[in-house]
């Protein structure tokens, strides 16, 4: 039997969510002023910073029909006018959520309202709004900070029960990879300590008193932490206004920098032109039908693109050109100027968020892993959480492949495990983690194809599976039918 989920629209980042929060009307709305934050200001604001107690139980990727052992942890959240803001990674695959409000005797239960796995942000609400005390402050946002601006992170890191304050400065603002989503977006680096438990807490500017971001991750380097800045938070909240999370737009292209003058001259660029060359365009990406391979993209949203793939940013700074895409909404249009075969063209593009990679960019959180089992062979499609240092090269080579490119692939399907029985005798680890290319002669472009090919062939003598490493797996259909029930009971396969 085949198990869910095959419909990509069922991803949690597209889940329809509930109605507006009653929470907003019950909070007093303390607005951070323009004056520098005093200790008294932060003490008052800390009343709106809550400690989250999280119970999580995710799916077991080795046995995708089962769940892992329950895990428990703590995170931080804070009250904004839309609800309680925290990190998505704090509330992913949760089975029970409680929060502790300063001054309240008992923990209260909360539920998820909206989750953006791409942005690592989530919005929560109290299950019973009457649990919220009156006159708690809601925290309001300022602007993107300046380099070397002094900041204060507030939260509940492990090692104590009381709220904690740590100070530092902004050391970098750039497009960086988010550890949780593995997608590049705007991020701020600071030397203010961000420890486990701080995740989801607010970061304040010591100069303006405004909240300027959400603490999210640390680094292996000493004294480096990161927070999600206000433009990304605003993108999340705007996305949520229509009661569904559509995600973060992406161009769906691979680009080449053009820092070499001979390369620019070869492409027909004039000395006053700069930009990047389009290498590949994803079938399902925003740029499909707009850009063509070998186009030179000169401007984005009216801003010149530099030859290193960056755009001017603030006072004589630079930032990756995707800044103008990632901070927009799905459905927005954006203008480009391109050089194509010697002609300068003005193009408009409607931004999409649909996944366009064979191995998805963001792990498929909050959903059971899809699988198909026959004769003790478990078939899976690869997603980022399947990848580790031991992943075979034969799988890694597909990391940069867009859907529709390599043999028309939509998903990378492998035999993820073999549960021993007479029907699969002799098939060992050499057959695991190799791409499945054909089943009963039919090309496999997605996991559903395996199920369709097997089910359509049940009247034949053999089920024949071909792998990319040229290995051949043949299952006797009569043995499959005789052993399947016993095999599933033996290994508790559901």
List domains and CATH numbers for the chain: 17-240 (2.40.10.120), 253-350 (2.30.42.10), 371-491 (3.20.190.20)
Say yes or no to pLDDT of 285 above 80. Answer: yes
User: What is the distance between the alpha carbons of residues 99 and 53, in angstroms, rounded to a whole number?
Assistant: 6
Query: Contact 228/120 with Cβ under 8 angstroms?
Result: yes
The pLDDT tens digits for 117-165 are 999 999 999 998 877 777 788 898 999 999 999 999 999 988 777 888 9
Q: Name the residue with higher pLDDT: 444 or 103.
A: 444
> Phi and psi of 63, rounded to 5°?
-130, 80
Contact 68, 369 (CB under 8 A): no
pLDDT at 10 over 90: no
Mean pLDDT computed over 240-257: 93
Active-site residues: which are they? 89, 120, 199
Tell me the percentage of the chain whose pLDDT exceeds 70.
Answer: 91
How much is the pLDDT for 20? 30
Give buried/exposed letters for 115-135 (b at 16+ CB in 10 A, else e).
bbbbbbbbbbbbeeeebbeee
pLDDT of residue 12: 29
Asked whether the predicted pLDDT for residue 116 surpasses 70, the reply is yes
Residue 150 · residue 192 · CB < 8 Å:
no
**Both structure tokens of 79:** 């009250």
Spatial neighbors of 233 by CB under 8 A, at least 6 apart, are 85, 121, 141, 213, 214
pLDDT at 5: 28
Check if the beta carbon of residue 122 is closer than 8 Å to that of residue 114: yes
DSSP code at position 22: S
pLDDT of residue 223: 76
Q: Is the pLDDT of residue 295 over 70?
A: yes
Nearest residue to 297 (alpha-carbon basis) of 241, 228, 251: 251
* Mean pLDDT to the nearest integer, 215-244: 90
**Residue 74: predicted pLDDT:** 94
What local confidence, expressed as pLDDT, does residue 37 receive? 52
Nearest Cα to 344, choosing from 312, 305, 299, 381? Answer: 299
DSSP label of 430:
G
Q: Cα-Cα-Cα-Cα dihedral of 37, 225, 179, 281, to 10°?
A: 80
> Phi, psi at residue 117, to the nearest 5°?
-70, -35
- Tell me the average pLDDT across 359-375: 93
Residue 38: per-residue pLDDT:
55
At 381, list the tokens.
């499609």
Whether 483 shows a pLDDT value over 80: the answer reads yes
For the record, the structure tokens of 192 come out as 């203010």
| pLDDT digit string, tens, across residues 314-331 | 887 899 999 999 989 999
Q: What is the DSSP string of 112-136?
A: EEEEETTTTEEEEEESSGGGSPTTP
CA 434, 437, 438 angle in degrees (round to 5)?
A: 130
Output the six-digit token pair for 211: 């909240």
pLDDT band at 3; cut points 50, 70, 90: very low
Report helix, strand or coil for 100: strand
Give the tens place of pLDDT for each residue, 26-39: 333 333 333 445 55
Mean pLDDT within 423-449: 96
Say whether pLDDT at 18 is over 60: no
pLDDT of residue 19: 29
pLDDT of residue 40: 53
| Chain segment 161-195, per-residue pLDDT in tens | 788 899 999 999 999 999 999 889 999 999 988 88
Q: Which two tokens mark 94?
A: 């949760």
């Amino acid at each position: 039997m085949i198990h869910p989920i095959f419909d990509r629209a069922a991803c949690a980042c597209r889940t329809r969510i509930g109605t507006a929060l009653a929470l907003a009307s019950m909070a007093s709305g303390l607005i951070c002023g323009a004056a520098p934050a005093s200790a008294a200001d932060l003490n008052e604001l800390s009343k709106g910073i809550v400690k989250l107690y999280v119970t999580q139980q995710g799916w077991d990727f080795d046995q995708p029909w089962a769940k892992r052992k329950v895990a428990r942890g703590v995170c931080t959240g804070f009250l904004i006018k839309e609800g309680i803001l925290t990190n998505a990674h704090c509330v992913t695959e949760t089975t029970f959520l409680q929060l502790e409000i300063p001054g309240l005797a008992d923990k209260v239960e909360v539920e998820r309202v909206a989750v953006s796995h791409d942005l690592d942000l989530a919005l929560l609400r109290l299950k019973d709004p009457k649990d919220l005390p009156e006159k708690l402050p809601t925290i309001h946002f300022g602007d993107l900070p300046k380099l070397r601006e002094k900041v204060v992170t507030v939260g509940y890191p492990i090692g104590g029960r009381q709220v904690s304050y740590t100070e530092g400065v902004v050391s970098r603002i750039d497009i960086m990879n988010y550890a949780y989503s593995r997608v590049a977006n705007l991020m701020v680096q600071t030397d203010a300590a961000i420890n486990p438990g701080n995740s989801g807490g607010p970061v304040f500017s010591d100069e303006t008193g405004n909240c300027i971001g959400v603490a999210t991750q640390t680094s292996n380097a000493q004294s480096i932490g990161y927070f999600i800045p206000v433009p990304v938070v605003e993108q999340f909240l705007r996305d949520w206004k229509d009661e569904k999370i559509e995600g973060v737009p992406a161009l769906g292209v691979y680009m080449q920098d053009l820092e070499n003058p001979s390369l620019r001259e070869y492409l027909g660029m004039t000395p006053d032109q700069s930009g990047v060359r389009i290498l590949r365009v994803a079938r399902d990406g925003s740029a499909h039908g707009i850009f063509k391979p070998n186009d030179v993209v000169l401007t984005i949203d009216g801003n010149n693109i530099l030859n290193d793939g960056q755009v001017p940013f603030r006072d004589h700074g630079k930032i990756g050109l995707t800044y103008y895409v990632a901070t927009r909404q799905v459905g927005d249009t954006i203008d480009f100027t391109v050089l194509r075969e010697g002609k300068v063209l003005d193009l408009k593009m409607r931004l999409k968020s649909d996944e366009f990679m064979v191995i998805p960019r963001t792990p498929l959180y909050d959903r059971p892993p899809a699988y198909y089992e026959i004769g003790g062979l478990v078939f899976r499609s690869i997603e980022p959480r399947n990848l580790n240092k031991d992943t075979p090269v034969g799988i890694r080579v597909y990391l940069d492949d867009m859907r529709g490119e390599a043999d028309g692939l939509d998903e990378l399907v492998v035999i993820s495990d073999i549960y021993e029985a007479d029907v699969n005798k002799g098939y060992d680890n050499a057959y695991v983690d190799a791409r499945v290319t054909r089943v009963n002669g039919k090309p496999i472009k997605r996991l559903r194809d395996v199920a369709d090919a097997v089910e359509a062939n049940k009247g034949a003598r053999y089920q024949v599976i071909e792998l990319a490493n040229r290995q051949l797996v043949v299952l006797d259909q009569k043995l499959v039918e005789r052993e399947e029930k016993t095999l599933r009971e033996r290994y508790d396969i559901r």
